[in-house]
Amino acid sequence: MKHYSVAIDGPSSAGKSTIARAMAADMRFIYVDTGAMYRAVGLFVSRLGIDSTDAERVITCLPEIDIDISYIGEEQHIFLNGEDVNSLIRTESASIHASNVSAIPEVRAFLLDYQRSFAASNNVIMDGRDIGTVVLPDADVKIFLTASAEVRARRRYKEQKERGEKVTYREVLKAIRLRDKNDSTRASAPLRAADDAVVIDTSDCDLAGACELVRRTIREKIGL
């Protein structure tokens, strides 16, 4: 039986997760949020008081980490050693820790096998920063979502304020730019569009418009 895979890459707050989740529900595919896995690793090491940029110490922790995906209703939840950490991995500090640990090749290798095996046995829409280039280089559809740093910062700021976090737009914009720099310059699997990816800029789109652009691209590629 043929299983289809859709890879959606792009920088932080480009709308990847929201759009991928919507497309998965629309097409009855399974949504896989790979970024949440890196956030879980970052959360684990930060709880131990380990600097997430200390590659040697992070690597020694990997055998102690078990990450699983489960669905509660229609929402994907990430479990870290049996604990539902979904609400704990969406903070700005968790984002920075995720960026730091994702730059470590051994962490990427640790999660890669799980991600590929899951895609091999399911119809998936997987989002992240290196899905089309590294994780699923043979994906049936590759999309690179992007938007200006300022637009992405406004989106992230709105989300964090709605969660009651005390942040300023300036702080969020600074964090977005730092994350972009870290992700695009890291030695291991840097953020970039795959050569055969369709690039979609959502700077001037609302959510419905962005979803329609992505939906149209997927259907044109795989005819579903």
- 83-132 per-position pLDDT tens digit: 999 989 988 888 889 989 988 999 999 999 888 988 888 899 999 888 99
Identity of the amino acid at 211: C
6-44 per-residue burial string, b: 16 or more CB within 10 A, e: under 16: bbbbbbbbbbbbbbbbbbbeebebbbbbbbbbbbbbbbb
Domain boundary assignment for the chain: 5-222
Predicted local distance difference test score (pLDDT) of residue 224: 66
- Compare 95 and 140 and report the one with higher pLDDT: 140
The answer to whether 141 and 218 have CB atoms below 8 angstroms apart is: yes
- 2-15 per-position pLDDT tens digit: 889 999 999 988 98
The token pair at 39 is 């956030």
Q: Give the pLDDT band (50/70/90) at residue 35.
A: confident
Predicted local distance difference test score (pLDDT) of residue 186: 83
Beta strand pairing call for 83-84 and 124-128: unpaired
Predicted local distance difference test score (pLDDT) of residue 103: 87
Predicted local distance difference test score (pLDDT) of residue 88: 92
> Residue 219: which residues within 8 A CB-CB, separation 6 or more?
none
- 61-75 per-position pLDDT tens digit: 999 999 988 878 777
Is pLDDT of 17 > 80?
A: yes
Residue 147 vs residues 15, 17, 156, 199: alpha-carbon distances, Å: 9, 14, 12, 10
Predicted local distance difference test score (pLDDT) of residue 64: 96
Which CATH number applies to 5-222: 3.40.50.2300, 3.40.50.720, 3.40.630.30, 3.40.50.300? 3.40.50.300
Predicted local distance difference test score (pLDDT) of residue 163: 86
- 163-218 per-position pLDDT tens digit: 888 889 999 999 999 989 988 888 878 889 999 999 999 999 888 999 999 999 99
Predicted local distance difference test score (pLDDT) of residue 32: 86
Q: How far apart are CA 111 and CA 66, in angstroms?
A: 10
Predicted local distance difference test score (pLDDT) of residue 55: 96
Q: What DSSP element (H or E) covers 30? A: strand 30-33
Is pLDDT of 43 > 90?
A: yes
The answer to whether 3 and 121 have CB atoms below 8 angstroms apart is: yes
